[in-house]
Every structure is written in structure tokens, then in C-alpha cells.
Amino acid sequence: MLSILLLAASAFAADHNWPQFRGLDANGAGSGTPPVEWNGESGKNVLWKTAIPGLGYSSPVIWGDRIYLTSAVSAGGSGAAVKLGLYGDITSVPGEGKQDFNVYCIDRKSGKILWTRTAFSGEPQFKRHPKSSHANPTPATDGKHLVVFFGSEGLYTYDMNGKLLWKKDLGKLDSGFFRVPEAQWGFASSPVLHDGMVIVQADVQKDSFVASFDVKTGKELWRTGRTDVPTFGTPAVVPGANGAKQVVVNGWKQIAGYDLKTGKQIWHMAGAGDIPVPTPLFDNGLIVVTNAHGPGRPIFAIRNTAEGEITNKPEALAWKQDRAGNYMQTPLLHGGIGYFCFDNGVLTTFQLSTGERLYQQRLGAGSSGFTSSPVAAADRLYITNEEGHTYVVKLGNQYQLLGENDLGEQVMASGAISNGVLFLRGRGHLWALGEKR
């Protein structure tokens, strides 16, 4: 009886964890029922908010009663400038001097900062985009290890109490604009933790790669070179043929799948959007990859049994849309429907089995930018624009707006949902939004 209770408790705890970017398997689905209404100014359904120093766009990750996230804090104490909105400026922010690259552990129930660690202190090797930060990658955890990635400033693994276990210098990772190399934008790909392996994708100006490290020791298990321009997406681990797992990465020249154990490339294809950002997703035998900017904005639904070069091969591609893909946001797949939101707030849904468009709806007036990726729980989809305005939409094949809410703070990072609480990282705070009883 005791063993059954322990197993039930363990399963319950796992259900409430949000261990990496976009949660378990990057699917963006959380547990419980978050509120439909809140207000940052009045405090309605705000359980707590905690000031987070510096500038960072990493999303919160959750394990048990602890939350983890990162930030880059200027040694001079001045607030970093951020330019939001819909624009095409490629210019880098001038050098901002020394930064402390910090890791924070926060109590999930109270919002109290339990510990802070400075992983690296010094001037960043590369500049950032006006919309970016020096702490973009989201941490990953398995409940025993906490992995954080700061690009050129290193890969670090801590235990859950903040003890540094190992660190790696992966060299100069310049993920600027490939057409204008002097335009430096900041590293963004988050690490993924799976079966005791840390998976990283580093598509940069020179010597791009995807690699795996032992989470306990930091030993490099494999590294596979890639021939692609700088990209900004996070890798995904998905089922492959015969139950084998594969690492799938977005790209322009090389969307690809790699064997999880060996790093050997299984399949590859050309994309169409030349600045790939969204993370690949998996649902019911299909790997969904989207990118945009430049030549096109495709959505590809790739069969997870694909092998070899599959560009335009119908036996590998279940369907594709040429002009419907996302630039910044990772889409959300739920109940056989894919939810894709453009930078300008146009939400389009597709039937995943066929690629048929179900509906298209603009969120807002089209003047605000949408960068953070949507998350969902219960029957609700949460999409937040850069100004901190969240649209709560009913999941399903017909559009139904359930609510609109203002946080009163800029939001660039994707949210996390655990046990009925929506956690949003704003420009200066981490917010916990839940029904007040």
C-alpha cells in the first residue's frame, strides 16, 4: 500500500513539473486550471511577484516547489535598453560592459529567492539585438541537475541547491545575422535534458554543431557538425522509427533529425525561412517544424519515420504550408490542432492530420509584437504580446476569446504553467498568476 501511495505521489509531482523550455517535450501544456482574468496593477489573481535583477528572456522552469531562471546583470547597475515592437532593425546594441550571468532559485509558493549563483562575470564576447538579452536560453532540469547555457559565456550544471557540478567552454558562439556578420544578436538556443544527456544546438557563424554531454560529468558523448547559418531554436527529442529516439533541430539549409545515442544524422531537408527560431514539435507520428523570414514561411509536417534527404518527398512529408509559418513563436499542438501565431498577432489553426486551415483570427489591432510562445492548460490557450497583454482563447476548432489581461510589464519570455498557476516573466519581475481563494 505504501509503495502504491509513493508511486502516486511521484506521478502527481511529475505532472506538475515544467522541466525545460515550453515544459515537458516542449509541448507547452501545463497542469491545473489557471485563471481567465488577472490584473497586474490592481493585483487581481496575482499570487505574488518577485523582482529579478538585470535583463533576461529565459523562461522559468519548475521542479517540485522550486523555480529556476537566469539573468544578465550589468555591473554598472544601469538598466539595459530594450526596443520592442514590429520593426526590422538589425543593428546590435553597443557594448554594455561587464555583466554578471546569474542563476536564481525561487520558492514556487512564496516567490522568495532562495539562492543566487553567478556562473560567469565579465564582458560578453558578443553584442545583442535591441530586442534580445544576454540571458536568452531557458534552463533545463531533471530534478537532480540544473543545466544553464549562456552561449559563449559557457554551459553550466548545478545540483538543485546551487552547487556547481561542472562547466564547459564551448568557444565563441556568434549567432548574429548571417548576411551582415557585424550584426550580433545574442545566443538563444536552450539546452535539453533527456535520459541523462544534455543536448545543445549551436548554429553559429562558424563551425555549427549539435552535441550531447553526460549530465553527471560533462563528458562530451558526441558532436555532429552542421552546415547552416545561425539559428535560434531549441532542439527537441522525439520518437523515431521502431521506438528509437531522435534529436530534431530547426534550420534553414538543414532541418534535420539525429540519433539520440550516436548523433548520426537520420534525415535532413531544406527549410525556407532564413532565420529559424521555433522549436520542433511532435504529435501523433508527425514532427512539425516551422520557420520564417526571407524566402518563405513554411510549416512542414514530417513523418517521424523519415530517412535520408527528404526535401519535397511525399513519402516523408505528410503535408506542408508554404506561407503560414511562424518567425519567433514556437507553435502549440493540442487535440489534433496546431496553433500558429505570427509576430503581428494573427492566430491561425490547422488540422494536424491533413494540414487543413480551421480558422484565422487577429489578436489585437496588429500594432503590437508577439514574441513569447503560447502555453496551455485545461481548455485554454494563453498568448501574451510584448506589452504584457495576454489573450485567453478556448482550445478547439472555432475561435472563442475567453479573456484579455494586462500585466503592466513588458513580456518577451514564454510562460510556464504548474498546478493551476501561470508564471510569466516580465521585464523586471517573475509573476505568479492563480485563482485567489
The string of DSSP letters for 193-217 reads EETTEEEEEE--SSSEEEEEEETTT
Report the candidate in 309, 349, 308 with the shortest Cα–Cα distance to residue 326: 349
Cell 492530420: give the residue: 353
Angstrom distances, CA of residue 110 to CA of 76, 162, 216, 405? 30, 19, 30, 22
- The whole-angstrom separation of Cα 209 and Cα 188 is 14
- Render pLDDT for 351-390 as a digit per residue (tens, 0 to 9): 999 999 999 999 999 999 999 999 999 999 999 999 999 9
Q: Which residues 6+ apart lie within 8 Å of 198 measured at CB? A: 140, 147, 155, 157, 191, 192, 212, 213, 214, 215
Residue 427: inside a domain: yes
pTM given for the model: 0.96
Question: Taking all residues of the chain, what is their mean pLDDT, rounded to a whole number?
Answer: 94
Mean pLDDT of 3-10: 37
The count of structural domains within the chain is 1
Q: Answer whether residue 354 is part of any domain.
A: yes
Residues in Cβ contact with 40 at an 8 Å cutoff, skipping those fewer than 6 apart: 46, 49, 388, 406, 407, 408, 409, 426, 431
The whole-angstrom separation of Cα 109 and Cα 236 is: 30
% pLDDT > 90, the chain: 92
pLDDT at residue number 77: 67
The separation between the first and the last C-alpha atoms of the chain, rounded to the nearest angstrom, is 33
Kindly tell me if the per-residue pLDDT of 76 is higher than 80: no
Q: Which residue has the higher pLDDT, 296 or 11?
A: 296
Q: How far apart are CA 235 and CA 22, in angstroms?
A: 12
C-alpha distances in angstroms, 166 versus 68, 278, 291?
Answer: 18, 29, 34
Establish if 6 belongs to a structural domain: no
Q: What is the pLDDT of residue 14?
A: 55
C-alpha cell at 46: 496575482
Residues 6+ apart with CB under 8 A from 9: none
Identity of residue 262: T
> Is 260 within the bounds of a domain?
yes
C-alpha cell at 39: 490584473
Confidence of residue 80 (pLDDT cuts 50, 70, 90): confident
Average pLDDT of the segment spanning 124-132: 96
Q: Does some domain include residue 87?
A: yes
> Residue 88 pLDDT > 60, yes or no?
yes
Residue 338 lies inside a defined structural domain of this protein = yes
Res. 10: pLDDT tops 60? no
Residues 321-358: tens digit of each pLDDT: 999 999 999 999 999 999 999 999 999 999 999 999 99
Confidence at 29, pLDDT banded by 50, 70, 90? very high
Domain range for 112? 16-433
Domain containing residue 136: CATH number = 2.130.10.10
Considering the domain boundaries, does residue 2 fall inside one? no
Question: How open is the CA angle 261-263-264, to the nearest 5 degrees?
Answer: 110
In a domain, 11, yes or no: no
Q: Please determine, for residue 13, whether its predicted confidence score (pLDDT) is greater than 90.
A: no
Q: How far apart are the C-alpha atoms of 385 and 147, rounded to whole Å?
A: 28
Residue 89 has pLDDT above 80, yes or no: yes
Band the pLDDT of 75: cuts 50, 70, 90. confident
Distance CA 33, CA 43 (A): 19
Read off the pLDDT of each residue in 63-68 and give the average, rounded to a whole number.
98
